[in-house]
Amino acid sequence: MEGAGEVGGAPEASGTAPVSSGELFRSRFGGEPDGVWLAPGRANLMGEHTDYNDGYVLPFALGQGVTAAAAGRPGPGSRQLTLCSRQEPAATVQIALDGLAPGQVTGWAAYPAGVAWALEAAGYPVPGACIAIDSDLPAGAGLSSSAALECATALALTGLAQTGLAQTGLAGQAIPRRELAAIARRAENEFVGVPTGIMDQSASLLSQAGHALLLDCRSLDTSQVPFDPAAAEATLLLINTRAKHELSDGEYGQRRAECEEAARRLGVSSLRSLTTPAEADKLADPVLRRRARHVVADNQRVLDVVALLSAPLAPSGQHSPVDIYRDIGQLLTESHASLRDDFEISWPEADATVEAALAAGAFGARMMGGGFGGSVLALVPATAAGPVRDAVTAAFARHAWTPPEFLDAVPSASARRLALAPGPRAQGDMVAPDHRAGLSRRAQPEARRPEEETVPVRDEAAKLAGEIAELRHAIHREPEIGLDLPKTQAKVLDALSGLPLEISTGQALSSVTAVLRGGRRSGAGPVVLLRGDMDALPVTEETGLPYASAVPGAMHACGHDLHTAMLAGAAKLLCARQADLPGTVIFMFQPGEEGYAGARHMISEGVLDAAGQRPVAAYALHVTSNKLPCGMFSTRPGPMLAAADQIRVTVHGRGGHASQPHRAADPIPVAAEMVLAFQTLVTRKFDVFDPIVITVGSFHAGTTDNVIPDRARFLATARSYSAASRASLAELVPRLIKGIALSHGLHADVEYAAEYPVTVNDAAEAAFATATIADAFGPGRGETAEFPITGAEDFSFVLNEVPGAFVFLGACPPDRDPESAPTNHSALALFDDAALAEGTALYAELALRRLAQG
């Protein structure tokens, strides 16, 4: 393990009886733990020392990790953490939580103590607890055992906190994993005192089995990159060189300081801003130049590896999986050279390992992690794994070094609570049996860990995926705008025909309302509403899709075609479970979301009362063609989207000759003054923490240069996030406009037209949606959005009446970068069909689980 506080010396691979943290817990503390949490170590495919430079990294979670068996300590005097570790047999460490501060705890216990401190500093009270730690990560091998220890502790403490809600005040809200990663990193940076980046904690908390995690350390956006070397008959070998890796010895901090100095001298905020090695070459200092060159090149290599892993295979086999892995191997070797020569952090055992592995047929190899010790990652054809092992072992023997240790590196799932092991549970063993097998230092295939139960809803949705996509494509081909969408309505009615639904259609608009009454409580259960909007935009499509819009000037550029198809899919899925459904579901298929307030019309036509009783909750999904990777959900408690109102102004002056403005009353400078005054209004009259956006998007006056016109007109949009600010806008904007006109002796008509209210997610419903996503889709699939979105939504009218949540779903095609992909409403926006089954499943899961809650 990295850093000053390693979790003990490396237990020997053989000859040591495997002891689980559950057993350790019982033997040290007596009694049963409340649970056992596992956090994996990580390997890093590409991107070394790029994380603290705001760059890219591509790590993956290992099968090996740290387990924490823990139990809360209720009662008075309970604000103590009592820690023990199998790798530190002598010591049981007692830490008082009250008054805990950096510097008070040293050695391995500083990591868990630091996590408790950072959790409390972030406003998450920590309960007193007894925690027993075990690890099958070799210490000092650069596999991030310190981050794994932090993350296992963080999950255990927050898991425990959730069991004692009243005491902890956590209100049952799971801490988003991204935030937990930041908390664990803070523990390491500020409590332990090692200035690491965010890569290791993110890998442990956000990875997915079978994937590498692309993390942009500047935006903290992540995407899962499928990574399955076995499919190309390749093997990843982790070779522990046995040269102990330490982060706390100063070299790591020195490299970081050098990078920061290089950025400073180049006048950029971080080395991420450099895109070519030539920019690094501007540095006069040769050392700083080399450091910067490595960072630029390794950032690019991360993107190159991601591109290779995402590249479609050429049909004739010119670019076969083997070619891809050979190219990735080449990049690994280049990265090693850069780390050795430019960053100067390699060590003799690593150089010898890389050399021997390449000579024995590896596709490529490189040192991994912080440097000066630890492991090498080699990518080898499966047939060459044996020869590579032999060659490296022989090289070590020639130098009389301690023989290397070989570990399999299987891209595995992120940190999680382990399920109770069957059988031994009678004796209270809570650690998965195959995790114990992991003590032999061989990663186990992910499927063999007994963990979360499989959720059939997702499988059922996946089976419907083809059908849902077909409906989506049909809707996409024939887009309709506004409140009257007869063709779309017909397609929806067709998709729902034959299902056990009560269907009604709208009067003033072509809506469809479908009610499904469950059989379990014969009409007595609660009602949940699911909304999907159906309308398109006045955009001429330029995507070139095979099912692109056949209607010039109309396009499903906001993905409502996906919403409609997913909601129809969810209706089908839920109808199949009608007999077991403990309540009623209203499916709201809504026209006119794009500026026509279709939801308000449907409410006035009675959609909220369609089941005979008001819904207890309402949910809507919205896809996005950029920002979120495909399949990622995002929501937040409180304001989710802005209120959007329109300001319409006409300034009345008196026209005349442009050469004699004093004989006319020129409306143009007065209107221009109003445009600028809006920005002063925004900053001087509104709380910066309750923001406002006013944008004048249309300004018209006059006909030519030498005539002063009679009038100037402009339109502005006003966005706000609270009812109070919105009300102030409605009052202050007309006053400002009138006042400016008057002060120039002119007159202005001003209209503040209220359009869509703020879309406010109910805190409990947003937490419920977040928990449903985590439980149904596994870790790393949902994020809590840090900020609301400045767009607006007419689902706000529904949420004004019924508590609920609005959830975004990433649908960016995997070959596009979510950061730069064309946005919703663009003629080029693409939404991937892969999101369809996921959205369908979430709609169904939200209804099923919410109805079950009552």
Strands 804-812 and 617-629: what pairing?
parallel
Closest separation between CB of residue 387 and ligand GLA, Å? Answer: 29
136 binds ligand GLA (CB under 6 A): no
Which residues touch 335 (CB under 8 Å, ≥6 apart)?
A: 46, 48, 297, 298, 301, 366
Structure token digits, residue 578: 């009608």
CB of 107 vs ligand GLA, minimal distance in Å: 18
Interface with ligand GLA in residues 358-387 (CB under 6 A): 369-370
Closer by beta carbon to ligand GLA, 54 or else 666: 54
Q: How many degrees, rounded to 5, is the angle at CA 581 between CA 578 and CA 585?
A: 85
Q: Which stretch binds ligand GLA (CB under 6 A): 105-113, 195-203, 225-233, 355-363?
A: 195-203
Over the window 42 to 61, marking each residue x when it contacts ligand GLA by CB under 6 A and - when it does not, the resulting string is: ------xx-xx---------
Nearer to ligand GLA, 182 or 640 (CB): 182
Segment contacting ligand GLA by CB under 6 A, of 197-205, 448-456, 579-587, 675-683: 197-205
CB of 367 to ligand GLA, least distance (A): 10
Residue ranges in 391-420 that form contacts with ligand GLA under rule CB under 6 A: none
Q: Is 794 in the site for ligand GLA (CB under 6 A)?
A: no
Q: C-beta of 743: minimal distance to ligand GLA in Å?
A: 59
Strand, helix or coil at 306? helix
Nearer to ligand GLA, 181 or 708 (CB): 181
CB closer to ligand GLA out of 253 and 656: 253
Of 370 and 818, which has the nearer Cβ to ligand GLA?
370
Contacts of 49 (CB under 8 A, 6+ apart): 197, 255, 256, 259, 294, 295, 298, 339, 343, 345, 370, 371
For 50-203, strand residue ranges (E) read 56-57, 59-72, 80-85, 88-96, 129-135
3-state class percentages of the chain: helix first, strand second, coil last, to nearest 5: 40, 20, 40
Binding mask 737-776 for ligand GLA (x = CB under 6 A): ----------------------------------------
Q: How many CB atoms lie within 10 A of CB 247?
A: 25
Task: Report the site for ligand GLA in 322-361 (rule: CB under 6 A).
Answer: none
Name the residue nearer to ligand GLA (CB basis): 245 or 441: 245
Q: How far apart are CA 462 and CA 840, in angstroms?
A: 9
Question: Closer to ligand GLA at the Cβ: 407 or 558?
Answer: 407
CA distance 162 to 4: 31
Q: How far apart are CA 350 and CA 341, in angstroms?
A: 13
Active-site option among 134, 200, 429, 762:
200
Q: Which two tokens stand for residue 687?
A: 């709380």
- Shortest gap between Cβ of 370 and ligand GLA (angstroms)? 3
Backbone angles phi, psi at 236, to 5 degrees: -100, 125
Site track 139-178 with ligand GLA (rule: CB under 6 A), x = hit: -----x----------------------------------
Between 51 and 833, name the residue whose CB sits nearer to ligand GLA.
51
Q: Which is nearer to ligand GLA, 6 or 48 (CB)?
A: 48
The dihedral formed by the CA atoms of 180, 181, 182 and 184, expressed in degrees to the nearest 10: 90
CA angle centred on 252, ends 247 and 255, rounded to 5°: 175
| SS3 labels along 251-265 | HHHHHHHHHHHHHHH
Q: Does 197 bind ligand GLA (CB under 6 A)?
A: yes
The answer to whether residues 532 and 472 touch, using CB atoms and an 8 Å cutoff, is no
Q: Give, as one character, the DSSP assignment of residue 812.
A: E
CB neighbour list of residue 606: distance below 8 Å, 6 or more residues apart = none
Triad 136, 239, 180: Cα angle to 5°: 50
Interaction of residue 200 with ligand GLA, rule CB under 6 A: yes
Quote the least distance from Cβ 123 to ligand GLA, whole Å.
25
What is the nearest approach in angstroms of ligand GLA to the Cβ of residue 158?
22
Q: How far is CA 683 from the centre of its chain?
A: 32
Helix (H) or strand (E) holding 645: strand 643-652
Q: Which of residues 554-613 bind ligand GLA (CB under 6 A)?
A: none
Is residue 2 within 8 A of residue 246, CB to CB? The reply is yes
Active site residue 687: no
Q: Would you give the binding string for ligand GLA spanning residues 452-491, x where CB under 6 A is met? A: ----------------------------------------
**Angle between the N-to-C axes of helices 834-853 and 763-777, in degrees from 0 to 180, rounded to the nearest 10:** 120
Among 158, 196, 223, 241, interactor with ligand GLA by CB under 6 A:
196
> 248 or 790: whose CB is closer to ligand GLA?
248
Contact region with ligand GLA (CB under 6 A), list: 109-117, 192-200, 628-636, 708-716: 192-200
- For ligand GLA (CB under 6 A), the number of binding residues is 12
Q: How far is the CB of 600 from ligand GLA (least distance, A)?
A: 50
Q: How many CB atoms lie within 10 A of CB 503?
A: 16
CB of 405 to ligand GLA, least distance (A): 18
Residue 40 CB, shortest distance to ligand GLA, in Å, is: 14
Q: Which is nearer to ligand GLA, 51 or 88 (CB)?
A: 51
Question: Smallest gap, in angstroms, from Cβ of residue 425 to ligand GLA?
Answer: 36
Q: Where are the alpha helices (DSSP H) in 30-144?
A: 110-121
Determine how β-strand 88-96 pairs with β-strand 211-216.
unpaired
**Residue 16 CB-density burial (10 A; 0-12 exposed, 13-18 middle, 19+ buried):** exposed
Stretch in the footprint of ligand GLA (CB under 6 A) among 194-202, 617-625, 643-651, 730-738: 194-202
- Residues near ligand GLA (CB under 6 A) are 2, 48-49, 51-52, 144, 196-197, 199-200, 369-370
Q: Could you give the residue numbers annotated as active site?
A: 200
